[in-house]
Structure 1
Amino acid sequence: MANISASMVKELREKTGAGMMDCKAALTENNGDVEAAVDWLRAKGLAKAAKKAGRVAAEGLVGVAEADNSAAVVEVNSETDFVARNEIFQNMVRTVAQVALENGGDHEKTSNAQFPGAGKSVAEHLTEMVGQIGENMTFRRSAGLSVENGVVSSYVHSATAPGLGRIGVLVALESTGDKEALRAFGKQVAMHIAASTPLSVTPDELDPQVVERERQVLIEQARESGKPDNIIEKMVEGRIRKFYEEVALVSQPFVINPDLTVEKAAKEAEGTVGAPIKIKAFERFVIGEGIEKEESDFAAEVAAAVGS
C-alpha cells in the first residue's frame, strides 16, 4: 500500500476541492495515484463539493413526514429556487424527512443515520449530491413532535410537491377524542401558525429574554410621552399584555374565524372531537429563515465572465 503523505492530500484537495478525509480515502483506494484519485472523487460526486460549500444556500425546501401520533420537519437548503423544483432534490428532501421521523426529529441522529438505498449516511449522501446537482446544499435543521394520546398535524405552505414547500408547520394536540376530527382541527391550527408566526403556545412559555427586550422598548417609547413613572408603568403593563396576545398562539385571533381566539376555537372543536383538547407544542420552519443572503449584481457577473 502506498504511503499517503500530507502533501499528496493537499495536492488532491487543491485539484478537486473535495474534503481532506475524502482526498485521503481516494488516494488510499488508488495507491497514491493522484489522477486516478481525481477520477475516483468525480465518480463519487465529491470533487468540487468543498468549493461549492462556501457558497450561500438559502433556498431549498422544507419537508414534513407524519406517522400516527408523531411527525418531523426538516429544512434542506440549496443555492437557488430552481433546484427546489428538481425532482431528484425533492425526493431527497422527502427521504430526509422520513429518516428524521424515524429519529424523533433529532438533527444529529438524522445526519448520521443511513440514507435508504445509498449505503452511506444522510450527511455523506448530501455531500455526494452536491457534486451531482451542482449546487451547495445543506441539511440545516430538523425537529419532531409526538404525543401519547392525540395527533401531530402538519401543514406545508407554498407547496411544490406533497409534503414539500417553503413553510412547514407541525402542531401536537393531546386528546382522547376522535382522531380524524382532531387531525382536521390540527391542520387548521397549523395553517394559523404558518400565517400568524406565534412565538410560543402560551404566554408563560415565552422566552423571558424576549419579553424583557420588548418591555425595555415599550418603556423607552412610553417615556417619550413625558408622563410620570407610575403612569408609564401602567402603560407598559397594558402594552405587554397586548404583546402576549399578539405572539402567544392561544391568545391570537384564529385565522379561520377571527371572532375567536385559538384557545376558544379549540374549546369549540372539543364538541366535534368529543374530548378536551390541549395544544401541546408546535414547530414552524421557513426556508432560509435567518440566513444572510448575498446580494449579487447579475449584469456585473455576466460582464466579468465575458471579460475573463
Structure 2
Amino acid sequence: MQRAALAGICGPLRGGARPGPLVCLFHASLPAFAADKGLLVKLRRKTGYSFVNCKKALEKFSGDSKQAEVWLHEQAQKEGWSKASKLQGRKTKEGLIGLMRAGNTAVMVEVNCETDFVSRNVKFQQLVQQAAAGTMFHHQDAKDQLTTYIKRFMNADELSQLRTGPDGCLLRDQMALAIGKLGENMAIKRAAWVAVPANYYIGSYVHGALAAANSPLDNMALGKYGALVICQTPEQSQKSNLADLGRRLSQHVVGMAPLSVGCLEDESGGDTETKMLAQPFLLDPSITVGQYVQPQGVSVVDFVRFECGEDTDIPEAE
C-alpha cells in the first residue's frame, strides 16, 4: 500500500521490475514575493499599521513601499469609515484641547474621543495636531496687515472640510484613519483662531498638560483645559515679561471661567463675579485682575476658554 501511495506521487513502477530507489520529481512553481524584513520594519514604523497588513501590502506590490503605503492608507480609510458608521452616536466626552502658536497667531482646538486612554495615544494626539494645523493654514491669508486683533471660530462641519496643508488630506479623512486604527468614536468639535498686530500679545495656557514624553508634537500644548488671552500692550514691552503675564492671565481664565472681560471701573463681585477684570485674581485673591494688570500698562481686550467635553454652542466670530 505504501508503494502504491508513493507511485501516485512519484509515478508508477514500470514493467513489474524490482523497484530500485524511488526518484521523485517535484514541480516547483515560482515562490510568491516574500517581504524584505528591513522594508517591513520601516513600513510598519512609518504607518503604524499591523505587521500582518504591512507584510500583505509589500507582497501585493512586490516590495514597492510607496505603493504599499498608499494601499494601506486606502484600506485603513475604508475600514475607518466603516467603523465610524458603526460607532456613530456613542458619546465622546473625553479627548484633548490642543493649543498651537505661530508668530502673531494662535489656535485652540477640541478633539473628542470616548476614553481618556485613547486621548493619550500618539495617533490621537497627531489628529489634534492636524486639526490645529488645518485651522492655522486655513486662516493664513488673514494674519497680515492687521490694525486690531481678529478672533474666529469654526464648528465641526467646517473643520471636517479643512486640509492640513497645500497637499494635505481632509480632516474628516484623517479622523476616519484614526478611528480605524484606535477603534473609538471621535469628533473634531471646534476651533478658535486668533491673530494680533504688533502692539498686541496673545497669552496662552493649557491645564492638565500631558508629559512631553507622551507627545511627539513640538509646537503643541495638549491638555483638558485651554485659554487664550488677548492683550493690548505698551510699545516697549519686553516679550519675556508679556509671556509671563499672558500665562498668568490665561491661568486665571481657565480657573475662574469668566464670561466677559468687563472694565477697570467694575467693582469686585467676589467668587460669583463673571466679569474677568472684577474677579479676584486667581494667583492673588487679595486683588482683582484689573488691579493686577493696571500698573503694568496692559489692557485685556478679549479671551477664549475651552474645556474638554463641555456642552456649548460655537459662538459667532467677532
TM-score by length of 1: 0.62
1:155 counterpart (205, 211, 215): 205
Superposed counterparts of 1:1-150, under 5 Å = 44=78, 45-104=80-139, 106-107=153-154, 110-116=159-165, 119-148=168-197, 149-150=199-200
Superposed CA deviations along residues 112-168 of structure 1, whole A, max 9, x for unmatched, are 221359842112211232122100100011112222122112101011245001001
Q: Which residue of 2 aligns with 1:282?
A: 303
Q: Which residue of 2 aligns with 1:173?
A: 231
CA drift at 1:178:
2.0
Superposed CA deviations along residues 171-196 of structure 1, whole A, max 9, x for unmatched, are 11111222221121010000011111
Q: Which amino acid aligns with 2:101?
A: E
Q: Which amino acid aligns with 2:223?
A: G
1:250 counterpart (277, 302, 305): 277
Superposed CA deviations along residues 69-113 of structure 1, whole A, max 9, x for unmatched, are 221110000011111110111122123223223334542554322
Q: Is the 8 A contact 1:103 1:110 kept in 2?
A: no
Q: Which residue of 1 aligns with 2:244?
A: 184
Q: Is the 8 A contact 1:57 1:137 kept in 2?
A: yes
Secondary structure class of the residue paired with 1:126: helix
CA drift at 1:203:
6.4
Q: Is the 8 A contact 1:41 1:47 kept in 2?
A: no
Secondary structure class of the residue paired with 2:204: strand
Q: Is the 8 A contact 2:84 2:176 kept in 1?
A: yes
1:264 corresponds to 2:313: no
Secondary structure class of the residue paired with 2:90: coil
Q: Is the 8 A contact 2:108 2:193 kept in 1?
A: yes
Q: Which amino acid aligns with 2:230?
A: A
Q: Distance in 2 between matches of 1:48 and 1:282?
A: 37
Aligned length: 212
Instruction: Indicate the structure (1 or 2) with the bigger Cα radius of gyration.
Output: 2
Q: Which amino acid aligns with 1:125?
A: Q
Q: Distance in 2 between matches of 1:197 and 1:170?
A: 12
Q: Is the 8 A contact 2:127 2:174 kept in 1?
A: no
TM-score by length of 2: 0.60
Gap runs ≥5 in structure 2: 1-73, 140-151, 213-220, 313-318
Q: Is the 8 A contact 1:147 1:174 kept in 2?
A: no
Secondary structure class of the residue paired with 1:57: coil
Q: Is the 8 A contact 2:87 2:184 kept in 1?
A: yes
Secondary structure class of the residue paired with 1:123: helix
Secondary structure class of the residue paired with 2:123: helix
More helix by share: 1
Percentage of pairs with the same residue: 34
Q: Which amino acid aligns with 2:180?
A: G
Q: Distance in 2 between matches of 1:42 and 1:188?
A: 43
Superposed CA deviations along residues 23-61 of structure 1, whole A, max 9, x for unmatched, are xxxxxxxxxxxxxxxxx7656332221111221111010
Secondary structure class of the residue paired with 2:259: coil
1:194 corresponds to 2:254: yes
